Structure 1
Amino acid sequence: MPSKYSRFDRDALRLLPLSERRSLLGVDVVAAPTASECVHPAFERVAEALGEARRRGAARILMLGAHVLRSGMQRYLFDLMEQGYVDCVAVNGACAIHDFEFALAGRTTECVATYIAQGQFGLWRETGRLNDIVAQGVADGLGFGEAVGRHILESGLPHADLSLFARAYALDIPVTVHVGIGYDIVHEHPNCDGAALGRASYDDFLIFAHAVQRLEHGAVMNFGSAVMAPEVYLKALAMARNADQARGDGQGIRRFTTLVCDMHELPEDFGVEAPRTSAAYYFRPWKTMLVRTVADGGRSYYVRGLHAQTIPQLWTALNGG
């Protein structure tokens, strides 16, 4: 029996080329790694944890919001991956869009206020190619991140050298993309296949959960993701601990390090979660990544600052600056 509800007719949409869009960021925003003059003590401790994790072969997981790429931190991340301090990257759908647009056109980020008023926000023809890339990846048995990285690298896009996805693909490091349907501009496009997006992103979730199974003596870092990172990490950790207990080998996943870098002001004693009556209680990285999941043997660190400040400090700490 068909649905009794009407659906939006995507054939009515008008897509325009990226050449007609005013983009707010160009590849000139991508910075060359430079040592920071001052390094927060937390980054020294995290650097030690990452070094130990690398020696043990434990997970070194980096979780990102899209503003990390918009802040031009790509080359810092490349170096961390190449040195073995990161062996899994988890991102949201917006990261894939900005990474692809940078690689394809050398520019990204539209003025939302301008284009939503014009009814054109997100409806740019070339960006919609991501939908076809993901669908082809699913047909080939790939997850979302692997499909995008493969395409950018093998298609020789003009700025592929600045693509996080392409660099990770070349290094055999998974980039897992965790999307919510309707969150991203490519979901507006007529060629968007919801089944393919769901398949690709769920495969990435399983790849991520597999990485979390190696988290004992490892580290998880979250730069600027208030919802995706803590929620995906929480479910994957539950799965990993459940499977570990089912095996009954007594190893456990308890002794690991978490780092959160964001702009929220947290109290000095962030090891105790905020009361339910406080708005801060609903800042998921705090209660999930800094308190609850490390309560039985882990260590957590929080640094407040812009990505263009915190990532260079981490990089400096790892490079003996």
Structure 2
Amino acid sequence: MPTRRKRPTVASAPSAIIRPIDASRLKTYPLQRRHSKVQVSNFAKVWTKGRSFARFLDSLPDILAVKTLREVAQAIATAHRNGRPVIVGMGAHVVKVGLGPLLVDLMKRGIVTALAMNGAVIIHDFELAFMGHTSEEVDAEIDSGRFGMAEETGRMLNEAITLGLKEGQGLGESLGSYIHRRKQQFPHRVTSLLATGFRLGLPVTVHVAVGTDIIHMHPSADGAAIGAGSLLDFRRLAAVVSEMEGGVYLNLGSAVILPEVFLKAVSLGRNLGHPLTNITTVNMDFLTHYRPMTNVVRRPTQKGGKGYALTGHHEIMVPLLAAAVIEELSGR
């Protein structure tokens, strides 16, 4: 039989087959004619002790996230000046890291005109208003079955939901009126977003998935009341979103529930004849997640408007944004 010829290995191929490229005829142009994304004028300014917060904002480098922060602050200020909605959708971490007073202040100023929250927010909002503390150690309690079993939290929140539904109230209004009207039981109610919304007449809506919140484990939980109250709140939020042309929606720390709810509210509004072609959407969280980036930042604004993402810790970024908005509105 004839023997097979061995294929030459790459190493045995003559080096002359691949010749180095000749760069001698490379075309260049003067650096002055090239667009550059970074200028010396964009750089940060050295801080001097005793300056104002406005000077601090001006001292930040006008690059990347700082540009986004400024544009978002300007969008919120513009919406406020024009009487357009500024809606905050939020998860519980925002409350747990102590930012309730800042949101309450923005509500009092008329800057935040509506709040939408997931079911976990109402737990912490209630406990802070009731006792002045919140956030249990889940790792320490889950093995014993004590996690989520605080008696007053389960009993009183479920009671508020059931009573409110009988009055035609959604979850947010039910809980806000419950806290606001029981002044002796809630000595720290000034921190409550729910009570503040009720007192100011601002829409505060609560959007739940049954089984996700500790109060659903308690025997006083009424699934029909929880579901009906949340559905009513969704329709109220959709009414607010449908009128947010020229307004702003901020998603603060909700990775799943609020991005999904907001997208459906946008679709419902457009289906009923509200174009929503000039809206600003913002996602703020310490991690980048699929749903907020897709359902808040990108999809709702692909018809018109602009979406932004600001990534960072809430306890730093939210105070920065709130202060930047106030400074923007001060006309400095």
With the length of structure 2 as denominator, give the TM-score of the two structures.
0.77
Number of the residue aligned with 1:309: 316
Amino acid at match of 1:89: L
1:204 aligns with 2:204: no
Number of the residue aligned with 1:263: 286
Amino acid at match of 2:116: A
Amino acid at match of 1:254: T
1:149 aligns with 2:176: yes
Give the stretch that moved more between structures: 34-43 or 305-314.
34-43
Question: What is the aligned counterpart of 2:117 among 72, 91, 94?
Answer: 91
Contact 2:286/2:314, CA 8 A, preserved across alignment: no
Number of the residue aligned with 2:325: 318
- Residue by residue, what CA displacement relative to the aligned partner does 1:159-191 show, whole Å, maximum 9, x if unpaired? 111111111111111111000000000000011
Distance 1:297 1:238 in 2: 14
Q: 1:42-121 to 2 correspondence within 5 Å?
A: 42-121=68-147
- Residue by residue, what CA displacement relative to the aligned partner does 1:36-87 show, whole Å, maximum 9, x if unpaired? 9457332221222222222333221101110000010011111211222111
Distance 1:54 1:111 in 2: 39
Question: What is the aligned counterpart of 1:300 among 304, 307, 311?
Answer: 307
Residue 35 of structure 1 deviates from its aligned partner by 5.3
Distance 2:208 2:263 in 1: 16
- Residue by residue, what CA displacement relative to the aligned partner does 1:127-185 show, whole Å, maximum 9, x if unpaired? 01100110000001111011111111110111111111111111111111000000000
Give the stretch that moved more between structures: 187-196 or 236-245.
236-245
Distance 1:263 1:74 in 2: 18
Q: 1:171-190 to 2 correspondence within 5 Å?
A: 171-190=200-219
SS in 2 for 1:319: helix
Distance 2:79 2:207 in 1: 25
Number of the residue aligned with 1:3: none
Runs ≥4 residues deviating over 6 A: none
Amino acid at match of 2:313: L
Distance 2:299 2:102 in 1: 30
Number of the residue aligned with 2:49: none
- Gaps spanning 5+ residues in structure 1: where? 1-33, 246-251, 266-279
Distance 1:54 1:125 in 2: 41
Distance 1:74 1:41 in 2: 26
Equivalent pairs, count: 266
Contact 1:35/1:312, CA 8 A, preserved across alignment: no
Contact 1:65/1:95, CA 8 A, preserved across alignment: yes
CA RMSD of aligned residues (A): 1.6
- Gaps spanning 5+ residues in structure 2: where? 1-51, 61-65
Residue 300 of structure 1 deviates from its aligned partner by 1.2
Contact 2:162/2:225, CA 8 A, preserved across alignment: yes
Contact 1:93/1:179, CA 8 A, preserved across alignment: yes
- Report which of the two structures shows the higher radius of gyration computed on alpha carbons: 2
SS in 1 for 2:282: strand
Question: What is the aligned counterpart of 1:133 among 144, 147, 160?
Answer: 160
Q: 1:241-256 to 2 correspondence within 5 Å?
A: 241-244=270-273, 252-256=275-279
Distance 1:117 1:217 in 2: 49
Does 1 or 2 have the higher relative contact order (CA < 8 Å, sep 6+)? 1
Contact 1:90/1:178, CA 8 A, preserved across alignment: yes
